[in-house]
Amino acid sequence: MVCRKRCIVLKKEISPVVEFVAKIQNGGISALEHAHKICDEIEKKNKKFHHFNSFDRKSVIAQAGALEKEIKKGRKGKLLGVPVSVKDCICVKGVESRAGSRILSGYRPVFDATAVARAREEGAIILGKTAQDEFGFGTFSVNHMAHTIEGDKTGGVKIPLNPLDPQRSCGGSSGGAAGFSALTEYTHIAIGESTGGSIACPASFCGVASITPTYGAVSRYGLMDYANSLDKIGAIGKSVPDVALLMGVIAGKDVRDSTSADSPGFEAGSVSGMRIGVPKELMAAIGDGKLKGVALEKLRRAEELGCTLVDVSMPMNAAYGVAVYYLIAMAEASTNLAKYCGMRYGHSRKLEGGFNEYFSSVRSEAFGEEAKRRILLGTFARMSGFRDAYYLRAMKARTRLISEFMAVLGKVDVVAHPAMPVVAPRFSEIERLTPMENYAMDLCTVPANLCGLPHATINAGLMGGLPVGLMFTAGHFKDSTAVSVAAALEAVP
């Protein structure tokens, strides 16, 4: 691809959330009034769209009321008065936190996850818990605990619907987070989580912006593990500067998570002179030419900003990413789920029989079908006799995939491609997918996640009225590079 060096100088993008915070600070907006408005909206619309699993108006208003008093006394904060929603798998003190699973019914953490605590310290108002696939197992949020079980008085939880077309999925697994980000008319940022693409996918389907940081940049303390070597807490919101603001608050080393690291920073800077790589094998694997066209048209605008587009080659990531990801993710998930057995957290039954019978009966009735499939496959992949052939081989392949990605990132600043190979599908289409077809949908998002690389997504434009997400991946701890390109292109009219 050829570069035309016709550079446009953009004015520095100011986050609308930053403007909101400034108005809260100087009394132009009342945190309490704004909280009432967003609560009215949730009460009215959640019945239809199911973006929230738990939402408690009283708690939101109490937080806003207390904050309002402190603001009058001069309290400051980067997220002062900003309503923040939290994915169900991230612990919020005192609020039922189920990771989208029936097995955690009734579990109310006695502490806040570090990401939540840090947002609160900067004046955020925690709205509630957003809907997701059970423990993050899915791409469409349809593996959400759909049925009630005996004794579960919550009435079950319904599948979140895409606000752009309620017949379609919000994406997953952070579906409620992205759906509400697109739906709300008020200032809001969502805390989400990605293991293999659960932030980029729903943001793409709902036409909003997202950041998934370098592995370790945000503490996982208080996150219910899906796969520990892959899980990352990140953000979804209306614009890149909004999500970058939240990331700057929640990132950084935490003594409670030994894998956490210092914040890499998320500030957007100049992109002039940057090289953007378009991975040809991944592009070839995306069947929909029109969708690629929408993404490429937006990407070409980067040339006007002084960037150069180049073709890059990552054949191993395109060919093996999905297989390697699912083996490792399921192996880790199957061990993580062992602790949910009806003894310590959430759902339990009358103690009867030996421990094997009791654990089996609780797990049989409370885990959904996809969780059970992953426990079986993950256990198989790491069983003695099969371990060498599956789990260990996948671990070796992962190292190769990382080397391949790093070699490409030695030549370009970011790698860019559509976040998903499709636009938000209809629920009727999702029902017809086999598990393997389902997993294949993660083709574009798994490489960056397997390699622990930071990535940001924006809406590139519409196709048949539905958004096409564009994803930018940078090197480890170069989160601000991915953010810079995403913010600059988002700002191009």
Give the residue with the Cβ less far from ligand GLN, 79 or 443. Answer: 443
CA distances from 102 to 106, 181, 354, 373 (A): 9, 25, 23, 16
Q: How far apart are CA 48 and CA 462, in angstroms?
A: 24
Q: Is 176 among the residues that bind ligand GLN (CB under 6 A)?
A: no
Q: How far apart are CA 274 and CA 414, in angstroms?
A: 8
What backbone torsions phi and psi does residue 2 show, to the nearest 5 degrees? Answer: -100, 150
Contacting ligand GLN within 104-143 (CB under 6 A): 136-139
Give the residue with the Cβ less far from ligand GLN, 254 or 442. Answer: 442
Contacting ligand GLN within 178-207 (CB under 6 A): 194-198
| Minimum CB–partner distance for residue 70 and ligand GLN (Å) | 36
Give the residue with the Cβ less far from ligand GLN, 197 or 241. Answer: 197
Give the residue with the Cβ less far from ligand GLN, 67 or 243. Answer: 243
Rg (CA), the chain: 22
| Minimum CB–partner distance for residue 232 and ligand GLN (Å) | 9
| Minimum CB–partner distance for residue 190 and ligand GLN (Å) | 14
Question: Which DSSP string do the residues of 206-239 spell out, in sequence order?
Answer: HT-EEEE--TTSB--TTBPPS-TTT-EEEEEESS
Measure CA 58 to chain center: 27
| Minimum CB–partner distance for residue 206 and ligand GLN (Å) | 16
Residue type, 40: D
User: Cα–Cα–Cα angle for 109, 111, 112, nearest 5°?
Assistant: 105
The residues with which 232 forms a beta bridge, in sequence order, are: 194
Size of the site for ligand GLN (CB under 6 A): 13
Give the residue with the Cβ less far from ligand GLN, 200 or 245. Answer: 200
The one among 242, 442, 479, 490 contacting ligand GLN by CB under 6 A = 442
Q: Tell me which of 198, 239, 263, 484 is the catalytic residue.
A: 198
Across 410-441, b (16+ Cβ under 10 Å) vs e yields: eebbbbbbbbbbbbbbeeeebeebeeeebbbb
Across 135-165, b (16+ Cβ under 10 Å) vs e yields: bbbbbbbbbbbeeeeeebeeeebbbbbbbbe
Give the residue with the Cβ less far from ligand GLN, 138 or 241. Answer: 138
Q: How far apart are CA 470 and CA 454, in angstroms?
A: 14
3-state secondary structure of 68: helix
CB 239 within 8 A of CB 451: no
Length of the chain: 493
Q: Tell me which of 87, 129, 238, 292 is the catalytic residue.
A: 87
Please indicate whether residue 348 is annotated as part of the active site: no
Q: Tell me which of 173, 194, 204, 484 is the catalytic residue.
A: 173
The one among 226, 266, 320, 477 contacting ligand GLN by CB under 6 A = 226
Q: How far apart are CA 27 and CA 44, in angstroms?
A: 28
On the CB side of 118, CA atoms within 13 Å amount to: 21
Give the residue with the Cβ less far from ligand GLN, 94 or 435. Answer: 435
| Minimum CB–partner distance for residue 126 and ligand GLN (Å) | 21
Give the residue with the Cβ less far from ligand GLN, 34 or 417. Answer: 417
Q: How far apart are CA 125 and CA 123, in angstroms?
A: 7
The tokens 């929909």 sit on which residue? 288
The one among 173, 334, 336, 473 contacting ligand GLN by CB under 6 A = 173
Please indicate whether residue 47 is annotated as part of the active site: no
Please indicate whether residue 361 is annotated as part of the active site: no
Residues labelled catalytic: 87, 173, 198
Interface residues with ligand GLN (CB under 6 A) are 136-139, 173, 194-198, 226, 329, 442
